[in-house]
Structure 1
Amino acid sequence: MSEPGRGGQNSPDTDDLSWFRGGRITRGKSQSKEPEKPLPPLGPVAVDPKGCVTIAIHAKPGSKQNAVTDVTAEAVSVAIAAPPSEGEANAELCRYLSKVLELRKSDVVLDKGGKSREKVVKLLASTTPEEVLEKLEKQVEKK
């Protein structure tokens, strides 16, 4: 029988200290590459750590028609032709953005701000922030 406190596969009492390197525990493959840094935000359009494009939105529900009214450094202003009740404006926002960005409705989801005018919409389709910003700015010019 072994003594108490000795034995155990990953015990520090064993002779093999290959798992202990420089004061930190290393198990499995070493992670020599640096963690991915998110791309710098492109105004209101950014890339989250998982690689999805996100858009900061300032929603204006209750408008006469859907329209991208402004693109600033902080957010994209979007007028929504739906009342701000029971999630109608949120659903209409996602529908409208999917049409503007030429994506499937299921690829445009509300990430944050369900009960706020300041929202974050996440795009699940593979697209670039530059493409998204370009399409949004074209909509502002159409007004």
Structure 2
Amino acid sequence: MPFAAEKGGVRLAVRLTPRASRNGLDGIVQGADGRPMLQLRLSAPPVEGAANKALIGYLAEALGLRKTSISIRSGETARFKILFIEGDGPALIAKLKDWVALTGG
């Protein structure tokens, strides 16, 4: 899975496609290194952090979380990003699994 519990929350691997025609989750894909990641599309452009802000907002809304509980650990200027979601790890993983299953990922 592209997410794992860590102390204080969950680490989430994401492959982001900015400037898409729609916002959405396209499921789980394999990276070039074989690691799984969530494939997300956002209509926001990758300019001045707009796509990163949109990513955090999209995830917060989809998972019913506060934006401040989601942060980008690495990949701020790349398509592949590692995010950290603060909170109860097992509960967050359950939310992520439900969300991926609901969207057909």
Q: TM-score range by the shorter chain?
A: 0.7 to 0.9
When you count strand as a share of all residues, which structure comes out higher? Answer: 2
* Structure with bigger RCO (C-alpha 8 Å, 6+ apart): 2
Structure 1 runs, 4 residues or longer, greater than 3 Å off: none
For these two proteins, the number of residue pairs brought into alignment is 98
Larger Rg, first or second structure (1 or 2): 1
1:65 aligned residue (22, 26, 32)? 22
Q: Percent sequence identity over matched residues?
A: 26
Kindly report the root-mean-square deviation, in angstroms, between the aligned alpha carbons of the 2 structures: 1.6
Q: 1:80 aligns with which of 39, 42, 45?
A: 42
SS in 1 for 2:40: strand
Q: Give a deviation string over 1:7-30, Cα, whole Å, max 9, x none.
A: xxxxxxxxxxxxxxxxxxxxxxxx
Q: 2:5 aligns with which of 40, 47, 51?
A: 47
Partner amino acid, structure 1, of 2:68: S
Q: How does 1:53-132 map to 2 (within 5 A)?
A: 53-72=10-29, 74-126=36-88, 127-132=91-96
Give how far 1:83 is off.
0.4
Contact 1:101–1:136 at 8 Å: present in 2 too? no
Structure 2's unaligned 5+ residue stretches are 31-35
- Which string of whole-angstrom CA distances, capped at 9 and with x for unpartnered residues, describes residues 85-140 of structure 1? 11100000000000111111111111211011000111113233233122133124
TM-score, normalising length from structure 2? Answer: 0.83
Q: Mind listing any 5+ residue stretches in structure 1 that lack a counterpart? A: 1-42
The answer to whether the 8 A contact 1:62-1:84 is kept is yes
| Bigger helix fraction | 2
